[in-house]
Amino acid sequence: MFFGRRNFAQGKILRLLAIDCGNTRLKWGLLEKGEWMRSGAFSNDLPDEISSLNEFHADRIIGCCVAGERVRTGIEQRLQDIFWIFSRPECCGLKNAYKVPEELGADRFAALVAARNRLPGGGIVAGFGTAATIDLLDENGRFEGGFIAPGLTLMVESLRSGTNLDPGMADFSICPKSTNEAVRSGAILALASSVEKMAQLRHAPLCLLFGGDAAKIAPHINAKTVIVDNLVLEGLSIIARDLWKL
């Protein structure tokens, strides 16, 4: 099944609330008469903040959630009639080439829908949050596949938990002279190099980046990059427009 548990009547929607619930944070945006009016983010385990979104009195709520059933159920208990999306073989000009289309994360799916709108010639779509995703979109709107790797924080934390290193926060350095710099710089270059490799192998003309760590990774990618805030929310709004004719 593509969309969530309820069927809504067709009709003009003036106010749409879009929700992107990731592994650690919930990002939201309020679209009114086709314009983004407000947006924000908070930890996805804060029930009072989630309930506060009801104050917007949205005509429709559309969302994606990759944080698991417990978190999804908690959101449903606080936001009435939320319409969850799931990946499907085709949507809004995007073709999903996953062997099992439904296995593609709903947030990646929504980001790719938005990227299809922004990249008519195709390119790389890379998200840098808790996990890093590096996906390839061709000129025909076909998602051909992609990589998943630990995000920047997870890379650093894995060295803390798996070794005797205790890396803290540090700035990037091309020639690190402390353990903190070495760990953080290595993690940044590993992610940047993954994007570069995909771009080189597939001759991608442009890399579209999103997510909380995108600005930290972008300067180290030797390819043309554009950072787009809230790409997943943008994709959700496109899907909503197709569903409800906003």
C-beta separation of 49 from 6 below 8 A: no
Find the mean pLDDT for residues 133-161: 94
- In this structure, which topology does domain 15-87+234-244 adopt according to CATH? Nucleotidyltransferase; domain 5 (3.30.420)
- In this structure, which topology does domain 90-230 adopt according to CATH? Nucleotidyltransferase; domain 5 (3.30.420)
Structure tokens of 50?
């989630």
Point out which residues pair with 147 in neighbouring strands: 134
69-118, pLDDT tens digit by residue? 999 999 999 998 999 999 999 999 999 999 999 999 999 999 999 999 99
CA–CA gap between residue 135 and residue 211 (Å, rounded): 14
Select which of 45, 48, 59, 107 is catalytic. Answer: 107
75-84, pLDDT tens digit by residue? 999 998 999 9
pLDDT over 90 (residue 179) = no
Query: What percentage of the chain has pLDDT greater than the value 90?
Result: 75
107 is catalytic: yes
Domain limits of the chain?
15-87+234-244, 90-230
C-beta separation of 65 from 106 below 8 A: yes
- Is 90-230 in the same CATH topology as 15-87+234-244? yes
CA–CA gap between residue 63 and residue 72 (Å, rounded): 10
Backbone angles phi, psi at 41, to 5 degrees: -155, 150
